[in-house]
Amino acid sequence: MSGLWNDFNSAQSNSNVIPKGTLAKVRLTIRPGGFDDPAQGWTGGYAKRGATGSVYLDAEFTVLEGPYARRKIWSLIGLYSPKGPDWANMGRGLIRGILNSARGISDKDNSPEAQARRRISGFSELDGLEFVARIDIGQDTNGDDKNEVRGAVTPDHRDYAALMGAGTAHSTAAVAYAPPQGNATLGQPSAFPAAPRPQQAHPAPPAPGRPSWAQ
């Protein structure tokens, strides 16, 4: 017997949220926002500017493998907040982790080659990257639980190779071992070609929640 039919405290929750701390290989898609600021290196129409003046990347993460395959997670990657640098610093940290994970770089590696691999010529290089995400839980504008991606798993993690599928035809980790072609910075040619953008249509996401300092 699975439980009493007059007491449902032990019944399984119907929550559709992926458990906090789950590791999964995902593909990042940036939903263009049309806001550019060349002085900051924000070009190509990828950034989005909110009503409060905050600027961010509207990111969609599609789980590629495992029990949650094809599930989608929507998060904001902060670029600027009028309330201070915290949100932008978190966004830069997340992008560093994504590049480390997608390009197979140890977070502890500060060699010239690793530093070159952490540089991009523009946000188009992030669009379509596949990496291992650490899935978290936040709240949407209604106060309901929603999944978010706040961190990436790098080769330093014992489960990285198995989750990333290093050596498979679809693994972007192989790009990490291409020899760097100069020290690319934002706005200059990078050692890595931009990943192709997925062509399939995506359903409209629920309204994303935002950290208080980003509003």
pLDDT of 97-136, one tens digit each? 999 999 999 999 999 999 999 999 999 999 999 999 999 9
Residue 133 near residue 24 (C-beta atoms within 8 A): yes
- Whether residue 80 is predicted with pLDDT greater than 80 in this model: the reply is yes
Provide the domain count of the chain: 1
Residue 78 structural domain: 23-185
Structure token digits, residue 35: 């806001």
Note the pLDDT of residue 16: 87
Q: What are the tens digits of pLDDT across the range 150-190?
A: 999 999 999 999 999 844 333 333 333 344 444 444 444 44
Burial classification of residue 39, based on how many CB atoms lie within 10 Å of its CB (0-12 exposed, 13-18 middle, 19 or more buried): exposed
Q: Residue 199: pLDDT band by 50, 70, 90 thresholds?
A: very low
Note the pLDDT of residue 50: 95
List b or e across 3-36, with b for residues whose CB sees 16 or more CB atoms inside 10 angstroms: eeeeeeeeeeeeeeebeeebbbbbbbbbebbeee
Is residue 17 one of the residues assigned to a domain?
no
151 vs 12, residue with greater confidence: 151
Is residue 60 one of the residues assigned to a domain?
yes
Note the pLDDT of residue 158: 95
Total-model pTM: 0.74
Residue 3 near residue 10 (C-beta atoms within 8 A): yes
Q: What are the tens digits of pLDDT across the range 35-77?
A: 999 999 999 999 999 999 999 999 999 999 999 999 999 999 9
H helices, E strands: number in the chain: 3, 7
Is residue 155 one of the residues assigned to a domain?
yes
Is residue 96 one of the residues assigned to a domain?
yes
Token pair 């989608």: residue: 72
Amino acid sitting at position 135: I
Is residue 14 one of the residues assigned to a domain?
no
Q: Residue 142: pLDDT band by 50, 70, 90 thresholds?
A: confident
Structure token digits, residue 126: 């992030």
Token pair 């990496």: residue: 131
Note the pLDDT of residue 174: 35
List b or e across 61-78, with b for residues whose CB sees 16 or more CB atoms inside 10 angstroms: bbbbeeebeebbbbbbbb
Is residue 18 one of the residues assigned to a domain?
no
Is residue 175 one of the residues assigned to a domain?
yes
Q: Residue 209: pLDDT band by 50, 70, 90 thresholds?
A: low
Is residue 193 one of the residues assigned to a domain?
no
Q: Residue 11: pLDDT band by 50, 70, 90 thresholds?
A: confident
Note the pLDDT of residue 192: 46
